[in-house]
Amino acid sequence: MKTIMGACLMMFLFLSVCFADENTDQRVCLAWNDPQQSVCPDYQPQGTSGERVLAIGDKIVDSSTRRQGACWDFVDAVYNCAGYKERAAIFGRIENVKGPYLEDVNMIQPGDWIMHINFDYRSRPGVTHSAIFVSWKDKEQKIAKTLDYVGEKRCEAGHYSEHTLTKVYCIYRAIPDKEQAAK
């Protein structure tokens, strides 16, 4: 009896390994800002602060680097990799989740860190979200192309998305250091 049970257990273990979901990743997923292993590409683009943020974000997305954290962690990592630890609040504050909301969408520039109410998130529409503004898909309807990360501590890569930006409550912009500003 023990032999049969042992054989069944071995067969179960063998089959579960052989037919495991190939998308399942057994490796530990590091945080976006893990000090031990940087997500930063070995690349320093030129241009305005917004162009640099977008270029670094694009390299991170292209690398398909999967990390864990919140949407905020991803945007923060992109800004840090681009060399912008200092950011200026262009509109609102983090605490302004309930408004006031941005009315003049012309304030938003490529590379801006935007915080908004995410009505496009299928699981829980109306949650807060951080992303990097790329461009307008439909400015009149306030539909934007963004560089972002799903968040919720899932082990995934950053990606490009579309978001309806009708309730933007905070915008940060990278502050160039003195050396970058002089160029």
Is there a domain that residue 21 lies in? no
Residues across the chain:
183
Q: How far is CA 63 from the centre of its chain?
A: 14
Range of the domain at 148: 28-182
pLDDT number for residue 3 = 53
Mean pLDDT, to the nearest integer, of 135-153?
Answer: 94
Top pLDDT among 181 and 138 is at 138
pLDDT tens sequence across 33-82: 888 788 999 988 999 999 999 999 999 999 998 999 999 999 999 999 99
Type of residue numbered 183:
K
Mean pLDDT, to the nearest integer, of 151-156?
Answer: 89
Q: Is the pTM of this model over 0.85?
A: no
CATH number for 80: 3.90.1720
Average pLDDT, the chain: 83
pLDDT number for residue 179 = 52
- The structural domain count of the chain equals 1
Q: How confident is the model at residue 136 (pLDDT cuts 50, 70, 90)?
A: very high
Backbone φ, ψ for residue 159 (5° rounding): -160, 175
pLDDT number for residue 33 = 87
pLDDT tens sequence across 166-176: 999 999 999 98
Is there a domain that residue 51 lies in? yes
| H or E stretch at 138 | strand 127-138
Position 122 pLDDT exceeds 80: no
Position 17 pLDDT exceeds 50: no
Is there a domain that residue 7 lies in? no
